Amino acid sequence: MRRLAIGDIHGGYLAMLQVLERAGFNAADDLLIGLGDYVDGWPDSHEVVRYLMDIQNFKGVIGNHDLWFIDASLKIRDNGINVDELYHSFNYNWVSQGGEATLRSYGKNVESVDSHACFLAQLPGYLVVDDKLFIHGGCPDWEALPQALPEQTTYALAWDREMFYAFLRENRKNPADLRGFSECYIGHTSTSRLDKTLQPVSCNGLWNLDQGGGWEGKLTVMDIDSHEYWQSDIVGTLYPYERGRG
């Protein structure tokens, strides 16, 4: 069984299908590990979540955009979705950061909101596979790994950026920095401004697989055992009539 990690999808169903095809993903034989932010940005959040729910060998962590959607799902259940009143009815920060596309996606599929929100809500804040750690954002108290993990809130793990920035700043080379983990995989912080080639960024075992797929970057899938990776086209080219989060 291959073990594949996928970066932030952000409603980019076409990009997800493309990169999984390029990776030769076999849903029956391969394990797919999601790094969070499955929704918000591109127009197909409903299709993304539905696809992931159908994969038996799927594991994933929850992202900050997924948390926003879960919060909104309660209001959707009570009041439905009025596409003409999105900015008045829902969290402005969320709607302006890709939530509008998610609401429009579920406006056609309101009956799926509860089950999809429940699916996302059961995803953990962090995941350990063998000696590899998966988090959406990072661990705020990363210097106290692994003991600090159970003490962190899901919100903190989904929103943290300091762990990634700390590894970048200090360019650490001591494997002990991950304190018992051989590798850590994150998303959340797009690397598109750090590396214009849009390749995955690695700092001493810390892999960031968010190459701006929620914006005008690419969606990345990586084999966590061989580090071979595959990428979609620039996601915006797959949605030429959509503005995404731009």
Which DSSP string corresponds to 39-69?
A: SSSSS-HHHHHHHHHT-TTEEE---HHHHHH
How many domains are there within the chain?
Answer: 1
Which pTM value belongs to this model? 0.94
| 143 within some domain | yes
198 domain-assigned: yes
Q: For 112-138, what is each residue's pLDDT tens digit? A: 999 999 999 999 999 999 999 999 999
Indicate which CATH number applies to the domain containing 99: 3.60.21.10
Whole-number average pLDDT of the chain = 92
Q: Residue 81 has which token pair? A: 């979705």
Do the domain assignments include residue 243?
no
Instruction: Please check whether residue 246 lies inside any domain of the structure.
Output: no
pLDDT, position 25: 98
Under the banding of pLDDT at 50, 70 and 90, the label for residue 176 is very low
Which residues span the domain enclosing 36? 3-237
Which 3 state secondary structure label does DSSP give 175?
helix
Q: What is the pLDDT of residues 191-226, one digit of tens each?
A: 988 888 899 999 889 999 999 999 989 999 999 999
Q: How far apart are CA 32 and CA 27, in angstroms?
A: 8
141 inside domain: yes
State yes or no: pLDDT of 144 exceeds 70.
yes
* Both structure tokens of 233: 């086209």
CB-based contact 96:81 (threshold 8 Å): no
Confirm whether 242 is domain-assigned: no
Write out pLDDT tens, residues 73-105. 988 887 778 766 777 778 888 988 999 999 999
Helix runs in 108-205, H state only: 113-121, 154-159, 162-170
Q: Would you state the pLDDT for residue 113?
A: 94
